[in-house]
Amino acid sequence: MIDANILVIDDNKSVLSALEILLQFEYKSVQTLFNPNQISSFPKMNEIDIVLLDMNFSAGVNTGNEGLFWLNEIKKKSPSTSVIMMTAYGAVDLAVDALKKGAADFILKPWNNERLLTTVKSAYELRKSKQEIHKLKKKESSLKQVINDDKNFIIGNSKALTSVLNLTRKVAKTDVNVLITGENGTGKELIARELHRLSSRKDEVFIGVDMGSIAENLFESELFGHLKGSFTDAKEDRTGKFEAAHQGSLFLDEMGNLSLQMQAKLLSSIQNKSIVRVGSNKPVAVDIRLICATNCNLEKMVADGLFREDLLYRINTIHIEVPPLREREGDILILADFFLKRFANKYDKPGLKINSAAQEKLMEYAWPGNVRELQHTMERAIILSEGNVLKPSDFLLHVKPSQTFGNGPVTLDDMEQQMISRALDQNDGNHSAAAEQLGISRQTLYNKLKKK
């Protein structure tokens, strides 16, 4: 017996009885209605899998308009319920009209029992398919939300960052290809995600790919997919990143790491707006918003013969340069405070603060690793902190070897600044104590710090 709920609606009680007897041995529940006006108040219509609906209820009327009206009412209450129309007056145009308005099928009276059972079963399969599609769409929507749920934010209000965000907002409304450049750790992926978030594709998926991590022999499989058996380890069909990002945004990071051979394959797919899976000859159209990023100077690579000029033109319709942290005046302390709150909460250390001397140390550092380095520095300081106040000595900053004693040639200014930094660290940022240790006045120390 099939676990389904059937509802029969007909003004002929003999028809109701005959169908109830026929269907009760095949389906879990069979209910009947003599008056179609009861449809409006029928409880839990969305739990009914199949409705068998007569098309004519008034005496002497055989236009089928009544049935079409009640079909519409049922669909309003339960769009996925399969409705089979029944009439003793068969007409092709009437059947077509019913199907256009959402009916699953059409049965003529008197019916053939075997054919009717087959029709009802097909309608039940249609109902199950619609329910499965609805579940898949909900699951897909949830997955997209999870994938697009980026926990990182673009923090800062410096002039340099504001200029980049203004350009990002303008470009996001279009579908042009964008190239994002900048040093490591500046937040190129955050800009890419912002482009996606502000675009018309925001409800679709954002797929990010680290091009530098893809082995050359797996390049086509990763980006374009493959068919089962197309190579030794291809044990099943696989969808590539281009297809996965269809109707969404595809972010290709570390573009400067691609070999010329990989660049040629990528260029072909971008130009044709289609991909060919490994092991197939059939092109598959893809609709993506392409965003690329690199910390390399692609123009120089083109001049050196290391990057295809035609590919650069394809990915570089709009160029966004993300500024390094050292050029974002005022953003260092804003970001430091943001990371302080995030990691103090994560590691259950409420009430943590950064003293003024430590803030000055953070402001004076060049941050070669940019925002990523600042984030890691803050996290490390908070993990190792023992009190409620973070001091200069809590922040372990990396100084380039060329700026330290005993590691190659340095200038007198380099040596002087290094001595000042060490003195400040050893005295927890106390300028008076550091000046005394160095044998200079406090004002002289301030003057030398301004030169940094």
pLDDT digits (tens, 9 = 90+) for 298-343: 999 999 999 999 999 999 999 999 999 999 988 999 999 999 999 9
SS3 content of the chain, % helix, strand, coil (to 5): 50, 15, 35
Q: Could you tell me the residue range of the domain that residue 248 belongs to?
A: 159-323
| Strand partners of residue 275 | 284
Tell me the Ramachandran region of residue 330: left when phi exceeds 0, alpha when psi lies from -120 to 50, beta otherwise.
left
Dihedral over Cα of 226, 230, 232, 235: its sign: positive
What is the count of structural domains for the chain?
Answer: 4
Same domain, 448 and 373: no
Within this chain, do residues 14 and 105 fall inside the same structural domain, yes or no?
Answer: yes
Assign residue 93 the CATH number of its domain. Answer: 3.40.50.2300
> Tens digits of per-residue pLDDT, 251-292?
999 999 999 999 999 999 999 999 999 999 899 999 999 999
Whose tokens are 């044998």? That residue is: 439
Cα 70–chain centre separation: 42
pLDDT of residue 405: 44
pLDDT < 50: residue spans in the chain: 146-147, 401-409
Burial class of residue 105 in the structure, from the number of CB atoms within 10 Å of its CB (0-12 exposed, 13-18 middle, 19+ buried): buried
Q: What is the pTM of this model?
A: 0.62
Quick one: 256 and 339 in the same domain? no
Total count of residues recorded for the chain? 452
How far apart, in Å, do the first and last CA atoms of the chain sit? 84
How confident is the model at residue 57, as a pLDDT? 83
CATH of the domain at 404: 1.10.10.60
The CATH number linked to 199 is: 3.40.50.300
What pLDDT is recorded for position 402? 43
Same domain, 377 and 419: no
State whether 186 and 316 are in the same domain. Answer: yes
Domain endpoint, select from 99, 134, 169: 134
CA nearest to 279, candidates 236, 320, 248: 236
Answer yes or no: do 275 and 175 share one domain. yes
- 154 assigned to some structural domain: no
CA–CA separation, 30 and 51 (whole Å): 10
- The pLDDT value recorded for residue 149 is 55
CB atoms within 10 A of CB 204: 20
Task: Mark which of 302, 323, 344 sits at the end of a domain.
Answer: 323
* Alpha carbon distance 157, 330 (integer Å): 8
Is residue 130 domain-shared with residue 70, that is, in the same domain?
Answer: yes
pLDDT at 409: 45
> What does the alpha-carbon distance between residue 290 and residue 273 come to, in Å, rounded to a whole number?
11
* Residue 8 burial class via C-beta count within 10 angstroms: exposed 0-12, middle 13-18, buried 19 and up: buried
Spatial contact of 84 and 106, defined as CB atoms under 8 Å apart = yes
User: Does any domain span residue 443?
Assistant: yes
